[in-house]
């Protein structure tokens, strides 16, 4: 929802023809105007979510740094930590898969050699960069981010978090990928336990990204074989939302929704827990607005069970077969969506 709200604010201001100064600015300058307005109005939580969602590689320095400084100056410790933990989490999510691939391709390459790789002129957006330069750049980028995070924590006097980030700094500096938990939970994942795991994890999570981290940690305690049960239940529930009406809901909420985004919407609906999922499934207009408190996209959950299985076994999980139903319901036209779903459009201020 934060992503949609930010773009809504940007679009409304950009389309004001009387605001000549604004329309002559670059997109980056325009976004900075919206960012600063959100800061003035203390929309910190929404702004953090937007940053973490939009810059999923963690490369948001130019946009996020003024906000980070504002949080430090105003002693907003909790928001400052949420911002930086989200940024660093995104950067780490890109580092470890690349590092695993590098070890497969060049098993004799040492950490010292990686640290000495020349990354001058590295272009993170180029597909021509070598995997060695990419890993070396990602490592340094994360180290720089953690150090910047720690400097702010020193000003805010959070010694406990400084200790945690110092430990993470050592892990990244030495490319010591964290080891996964041993199997300690012997339970079988059936539908009841599936929903219990989702619900309990949502209760302790600050946002959808923290939810993924927490759920991954929980699933790592299970026997890897149970990941197939989890994945089958997840895809079964996702399939229950395969209707044109649910696609319309996703389209209205997000101001547009393609094929892939609809898949990520459905899996996000499952991540919100059993009660919320049922309300979304029934398109209960009395409950929907409170449920949609973040951008309804969670691609990471689609692959989480496979990732846990692979991490624990170093092997690929066999595909889980779930019969996918065809889209049901009445197909709608994008140009007439307001006339077709007037209540939903009004509920989510779609015009």
Tokens describing residue 204: 């302790």
- pLDDT the model gives residue 322: 85
- Digit-coded pLDDT (tens) for 186-196: 999 999 999 99
Separation in Å, CA 189 to CA 145, 236, 315: 38, 14, 21
Q: What percent of the chain has pLDDT over 90?
A: 71
Q: What's the Rg (C-alpha) of the chain?
A: 22
What are the tokens at 73?
């100056």
First to last CA, the chain: 16
Are residues 312 and 220 in contact, defined by beta-carbon separation less than 8 angstroms?
yes
Is residue 92 over pLDDT 80? yes
Helix, strand, or coil (residue 185): strand
Per-residue pLDDT, 216: 94
Give the predicted TM-score (pTM) of the model: 0.68
pLDDT confidence band for 52 (50 / 70 / 90): confident
Please choose, from the candidates 328, 332, 287, 4, the residue with its C-alpha nearest in 3D space to the C-alpha of residue 341: 332
What's the average model confidence in pLDDT over 116-129? 93
pLDDT for the residue numbered 56: 86
Tens digits of per-residue pLDDT, 2-49? Answer: 777 888 888 887 765 455 555 678 889 999 999 999 999 999 988 998
Q: Based on the number of CB atoms within 10 Å of its own CB, is 25 exposed (0-12), middle (13-18) or buried (19 or more)?
A: middle
**Residue ranges of domains in the chain:** 42-178, 187-351
In tens, the pLDDT along 303-328 reads: 899 989 988 887 778 878 888 788 99
Q: What angle do CA 81, 83, 87 make, to 5 degrees?
A: 115
Q: Which two tokens stand for residue 117?
A: 């790789």
Q: Is it the case that residue 171 has pLDDT exceeding 80? A: yes
């Amino acid at each position: 929802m934060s992503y949609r709200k930010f773009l809504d604010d940007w679009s409304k201001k950009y389309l004001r023809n009387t605001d000549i100064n604004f329309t002559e600015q670059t997109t980056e300058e325009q976004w900075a105007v919206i960012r600063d307005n959100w800061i003035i109005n203390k929309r910190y939580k929404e702004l953090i979510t937007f940053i973490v969602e939009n810059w999923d590689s963690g490369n948001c320095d130019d946009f996020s740094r003024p906000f980070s400084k504002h949080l430090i100056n105003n002693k907003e410790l909790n928001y400052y930590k949420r911002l930086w933990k989200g940024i660093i989490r995104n950067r780490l999510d890109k580092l470890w898969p690349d590092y695993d691939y590098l070890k497969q391709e060049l098993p004799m390459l040492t950490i010292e050699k990686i640290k000495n790789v020349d990354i001058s002129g590295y272009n993170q957006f180029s597909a021509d960069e070598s995997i060695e330069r990419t890993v070396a750049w990602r490592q340094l980028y994360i180290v720089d981010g953690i150090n910047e995070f720690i400097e702010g924590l020193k000003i805010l006097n959070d010694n406990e978090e400084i200790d945690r980030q110092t430990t993470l700094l050592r892990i990244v500096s030495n490319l010591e990928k964290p080891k996964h938990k041993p199997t300690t939970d012997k339970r079988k994942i059936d539908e009841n336990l599936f929903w219990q795991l989702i619900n309990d994890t949502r209760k302790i999570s600050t946002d959808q990204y923290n939810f993924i981290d927490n759920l991954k940690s929980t699933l790592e305690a299970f026997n890897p074989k149970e990941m197939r049960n989890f994945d089958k239940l997840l895809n079964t529930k996702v399939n229950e939302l395969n209707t044109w009406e649910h696609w319309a809901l996703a389209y209205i909420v997000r101001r547009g929704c393609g094929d892939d985004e609809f898949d990520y919407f459905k899996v996000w609906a499952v991540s919100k827990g059993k009660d919320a999922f049922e309300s979304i499934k029934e398109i209960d207009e009395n409950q929907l607005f409170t449920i949609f408190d973040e951008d309804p996209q969670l691609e990471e959950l689609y692959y989480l069970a496979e990732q846990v299985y692979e991490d624990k076994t170093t092997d690929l999980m066999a595909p889980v077969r779930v019969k996918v139903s065809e889209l049901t319901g009445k197909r709608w036209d994008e140009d007439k969506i307001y006339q077709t779903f007037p209540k939903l459009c009004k509920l989510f201020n779609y015009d």
